[in-house]
Amino acid sequence: MSEHSTSSHSTSSPLPRYFAIWATLLICTGLTYYAATLDLGPFNAAVALGIATFKATLVTLFFMHVWHAGEKLIKLVVISALFFLLLLLALSMTDYATRLWS
């Protein structure tokens, strides 16, 4: 972490990157709003969630500094949190989605 973070702090300014990500997030928000007015059939929810996940990933990686985190444990905690969230959602949905048979 030491070489990496100090070099990224002192040599290149992160400001252009921050502003670029901010602009991307705003554009994506407009895009979600616009996509919701189109009839995409079953893909409306997928597009909305896809854009939301893209935005959340940008915030996590660059605003929350996970991309540049030298400590691998932090990346592990982030990934395991997402893994258990997916486990919760996926297993619950497989249960409820298959309940109304018969």
Interface positions with another protein (CB under 8 A): 1-2, 9, 14-15, 18-19, 22, 25-26, 29-30, 32-33, 36-40, 44-45, 48-49, 51-52, 55-56, 59-60, 63-65, 69-71, 73-74, 77-78, 80-82, 84-85, 88-89, 92-93, 96-97
Residue 40's contacts (CB-CB under 8 Å, 6 or more residues apart) are 47
**Residue 74 Cβ, how far from another protein at the closest point, in Å?**
5
79 with 61: CB under 8 angstroms? Answer: no
CA 91/CA 82 separation, integer angstroms: 14
**Residue 63 Cβ, how far from another protein at the closest point, in Å?**
5
Cβ neighbours around 60 below 10 Å, total: 14
**Residue 7 Cβ, how far from another protein at the closest point, in Å?**
13
For another protein, the closer of residues 7 and 52 by Cβ is 52
Which two structure tokens, joined as six digits, stand for 57? 């990933």
